[in-house]
Amino acid sequence: MVSLSLHSALSGVPASILEGALVLLPRARPFPGLARLRAPAWAALLPLSIVVGTFGLLIVPELAPSTVLAAAITTPLLAAIAVLLVVRARLLVMPLAVLAAVLAVGATGQGGHVGTGVVTALACLTVGAALQRLIPGRWLLVGVVAMSVVDITLLLAGPGYHETAVLAAAQTNFHGPRFTGARIGGTTIGYPDLFLAALLGASLAGQRAQARAAGLLVVLAIAYDSMLSPGLLLPATVPIALTLAAVWMVRHGRRQPRLAASAPATPCECVTALSGTRAPAARTARRTCPEHASARRGSQTPPLVRPQAPR
């Protein structure tokens, strides 16, 4: 039985705000060249990233130190790309990114955790924006839901716990910034969960729904964190999948009335609809109506031929 905890919810507020910022920061279409590679098959990368990341470390635990080292090398580079090409309000984000990098390298304790978490989140913005350019919109929801289902299954079945322990042991022996996730406040968010939030933001970039989705994700994540307890792991992909599903349902619900309103009139309705129009418009519409066009073609009389006088 899962019990709700106000303390857990409050301790998860900073991490929830970070996820909301990942939804709010991306600008529209940052990597135009990737659109040429757009295909539904890229959606399979979302659930596969968790499957490969989990079982890869369980089958070959010797890869864990290399994974931590690779994250330490690539994450700052991806974060720099995000600041230059992905985020909005670059002049505001750039000094914050520099401060986070300084904290990640030189600070210890909570300050170091905040620095590494922010740098990791910025790197995930690059990954999420790139994936959004590769995955068609209709397949995005499928990939996110599949990723969330796999995440839940692996945690309930046990492999998710073991993979987390293997990666944590490798981080303990690593001397340097640890960019495998974001530990802010009392909550730790994994790399896949961060780039999934960035993917959601990139899919809504430039739309009014982007800010609403960011707020909804913050609320859902805080409520979700209230179920946390010491030693318990929860799949952080769930609030993101719920937010994307809610956005999709609202958009789909608004689209249906518009499609119904813009549906063309049937042939038998066009004359009634045009009964109050002016004569020239009515004549034009009747000529384009299939029913009246066919009737008009059947009722046409052959042109009169004037008899010519003999020469």
77 and 211 fall within a common domain? yes
27 and 128 fall within a common domain? yes
When pLDDT is averaged across residues 243-256 and rounded to a whole number, the result is 83
pTM for this entry: 0.77
Domain interval for residue 277: 270-294
245 and 200 fall within a common domain? yes
Q: Tell me, what DSSP letter sits at residue 38?
A: -
Q: In whole angstroms, what is the distance from residue 145 CA to residue 68 CA?
A: 27
> HSE on the CB side for 119, CA within 13 Å?
26
When pLDDT is averaged across residues 110-114 and rounded to a whole number, the result is 90
Domain membership flag for residue 227: yes
**pLDDT at site 263:** 52
Lowest mean per-residue pLDDT among 8-22, 103-117, 224-238, 264-278: 264-278
Is the confidence at residue 104, as pLDDT, over 70?
yes
Q: In whole angstroms, what is the distance from residue 12 CA to residue 208 CA?
A: 26
Domain membership flag for residue 305: no
205 vs 260, higher pLDDT: 205
Domain membership flag for residue 141: yes
288 and 181 fall within a common domain? no
Measure the CA dihedral 167/52/58/124, to 10°.
0
276 and 214 fall within a common domain? no
For 61-92, what is each residue's pLDDT tens digit? 999 999 999 999 999 999 999 999 999 989 99
Q: In whole angstroms, what is the distance from residue 197 CA to residue 117 CA?
A: 14
Residues contacting 292, CB < 8 A, separation 6+: 267, 270, 271, 286
When the pLDDT of each residue in the chain is averaged and rounded to a whole number, the result is 82
**pLDDT at site 158:** 87
**pLDDT at site 43:** 95
Helix, coil or strand: residue 181: strand
173 vs 230, higher pLDDT: 173
Rounded to the nearest angstrom, the gap between the alpha carbon of residue 25 and the centroid of all alpha carbons in its chain is: 12
| Angle, in degrees to the nearest 10, between helices 63-81 and 90-106 | 150
pLDDT band at 47 (very low <50, low <70, confident <90, very high): very high
147 and 282 fall within a common domain? no
Rounded to the nearest angstrom, the gap between the alpha carbon of residue 3 and the centroid of all alpha carbons in its chain is: 30
Q: In whole angstroms, what is the distance from residue 245 CA to residue 241 CA?
A: 6
238 and 285 fall within a common domain? no
pLDDT band at 281 (very low <50, low <70, confident <90, very high): very low
Helix, coil or strand: residue 60: coil
Domain membership flag for residue 300: no
When pLDDT is averaged across residues 269-293 and rounded to a whole number, the result is 39
pLDDT band at 137 (very low <50, low <70, confident <90, very high): confident
**pLDDT at site 96:** 94
Domain membership flag for residue 310: no
Q: Tell me, what DSSP letter sits at residue 176?
A: S
185: left (phi over 0), alpha (psi -120 to 50) or beta: left
173 and 290 fall within a common domain? no
When pLDDT is averaged across residues 12-35 and rounded to a whole number, the result is 92
In 3D space, the residue among 230, 251, 227 whose CA is nearest the CA of residue 238 turns out to be 227
Percent with pLDDT over 90 in the chain: 51
Task: Identify residue 100 by its one-letter amino acid code.
Answer: A
